[in-house]
Amino acid sequence: MGAAVDRLVEVVAALREHCLWTAALTHEGLVEYLVEESYELLETIEEHRPDGELRGELADVLLQVVLHARIASERGAFDLEGIARTLTEKMIRRNTHVFAPDGTLRASFPDSIEEIVRSWDAAKRAERPERTDPFAGLPRHLPALVFADKALGRGERWLALEDAAGGTASADVPPEGGPAGPEPATFATEEELGEHLLGIVRAARAAGLDAERALRAAVVRHTETGWRAPR
């Protein structure tokens, strides 16, 4: 695998030097390709396409990383090896349930997902103890439904960490870690949920409203006001 990756780095370097189109690429100019390739990979996974197609789509995403690394290395910032080193260090630092601080394996490992999630969240929070906002760093350009789900999840896990540390939730944060409101509808299957969401979008269109923008704005409002975790 090392030789294949080294050759890929050489090929991209040659393209940056001898291909005018590739040489003109910038971090900003590559954004649209990263988004496109990511959605193509998502579609391949969700449609359970053959492994050959999955490998090809993963290769297209990897190309984006290698191109960004090459552009950064040309200005003396970092290279692909630096990216890999940073990722390795982060995986060791955040997965304290698997690794000791020196990177060696621990003698035993948790047997529940809940414990693993708590460990990950605690390690991540320890990296930036000055952060008191659980939603800091949450990309607002995520699709609105993903944005809402991620925000709810962060709120819930933040409250769990506060409880574990002996803190008390503020009056502004409901027990479930999300915005207060009417009782949520319940669904037995994702098909039922999908039909419900489609009905909401249909009603929004009939009223001349943008459902995507409306949900995103609601999440932003709640994360900036009464949806904050205790300080």
Considering the segment(s) 2-92 as one domain, its CATH architecture is: Orthogonal Bundle (1.10)
| pLDDT over threshold 50, residue 229 | no
| pLDDT over threshold 50, residue 121 | yes
pTM recorded for the entire structure:
0.72
pLDDT of res. 79:
97
pLDDT of res. 27:
97
- Mean pLDDT (whole number) for 115-139: 82
Portions of the chain given CATH number 1.10.287.1080: 2-92
- Mean pLDDT (whole number) for 39-53: 96
Q: What is the residue-averaged pLDDT of the chain?
A: 86
| pLDDT over threshold 80, residue 188 | yes
pLDDT of res. 126:
87
3-state secondary structure the chain: CHHHHHHHHHHHHHHHHHCHHHHCCCHHHHHHHHHHHHHHHHHHHHCCCCHHHHHHHHHHHHHHHHHHHHHHHHCCCCCHHHHHHHHHHHHHHHCCCCECCCCCECCCCCCCHHHHHHHHHHHHHHHCCCCCCCCCCCCCCCCHHHHHHHHHHHHHHHHHHHHHCCCCCCCCCCCCCCCCCCCCCCCCCHHHHHHHHHHHHHHHHHCCCCHHHHHHHHHHHHHHCCCCCCC
3-state secondary structure 16-37: HHHCHHHHCCCHHHHHHHHHHH
State which of 122-131, 138-147, 198-207 shows the largest mean pLDDT.
198-207
- Mean pLDDT (whole number) for 75-95: 97
Q: For 4-37, what is each residue's pLDDT tens digit?
A: 999 999 999 999 999 999 999 999 999 999 999 9
Q: Higher-confidence residue: 1 or 139?
A: 139
Q: Higher-confidence residue: 124 or 195?
A: 195
pLDDT of res. 76:
97
